[in-house]
Amino acid sequence: MSTPLSVDIPTAMTISAQGGIDGHSRRYEKVLGDMSGVYRDEAAWQAAVTERGDSELVYWVDDQRYQEGPGALIVGTSTLLPGCYGDEFALTRGHLHAIADRAELYHCLSGHGVMLLETVDGQSAAIELTPGKAVNVPGHWIHRSVNVGDEPFVTLFCYAADAGQNYDIIANAGGMKNLVVVDGDGWALTPNPDHTGYSA
């Protein structure tokens, strides 16, 4: 048994329940203008852009990644701001891992959200997340975060560094099969009439 010539050095992180990691190696931000085509009610999204500007922050991600090789893990926080576009709650673009069998942990640190999950062959699930709740998303599930509350929805995530993301799978299917919509004071799933099925 031997150690490789070069190993990664363990480093501390400080994870904020309000989102963000001291010790992150990367931060990216998504603004309203990046969300073209993501919400079913394009007119509602366009009205929001007109009112709030296309550079308004809608979600941001901090992560710590030290290498992309097999065995490494990426750890981060996702902070999704609240909002509605038509009757659809604010959401992330969503993805399937490029290496589809790679799982991902999401552990809610604050806020109130839903993890919306679908398989290419039409299975569907939705897991409600509040602080302390978590879901270990198995491989082969397309997944997206939805904020159904009125505060930022913050999750700690962890996934294999080699997993990669396929974002096009949702766009190419006319969106996910289900929408997460306003339902009284809560949320509900409703079928997305524009969904064409995921392409094989």
Among the listed residues 105, 108, 157, the one whose alpha carbon sits nearest the alpha carbon of residue 136:
105
Among residues 10 and 193, whose Cβ is nearest to a copy of itself? 10
Among residues 48 and 108, whose Cβ is nearest to a copy of itself? 108
DSSP result, 47-74: HHHHHH-TT-EEEEEEEE-S--STT-EE
Among residues 40 and 147, whose Cβ is nearest to a copy of itself? 147
The residues that touch a copy of itself, with contacts defined as CB under 8 A, are 1-4, 7-17, 64, 66-67, 69-73, 75, 99-105, 107, 115, 117, 119-121, 123, 125, 127-129, 132-141, 156, 158-161, 169, 198-200
Instruction: Return the amino acid letter for 156.
Output: L
Q: Which H or E run contains 44? A: helix 42-52
**Least distance to a copy of itself from the beta carbon of 66, Å?**
6
Among residues 4 and 50, whose Cβ is nearest to a copy of itself? 4
| DSSP state, residue 95 | B
**Least distance to a copy of itself from the beta carbon of 96, Å?**
8
| DSSP state, residue 173 | T
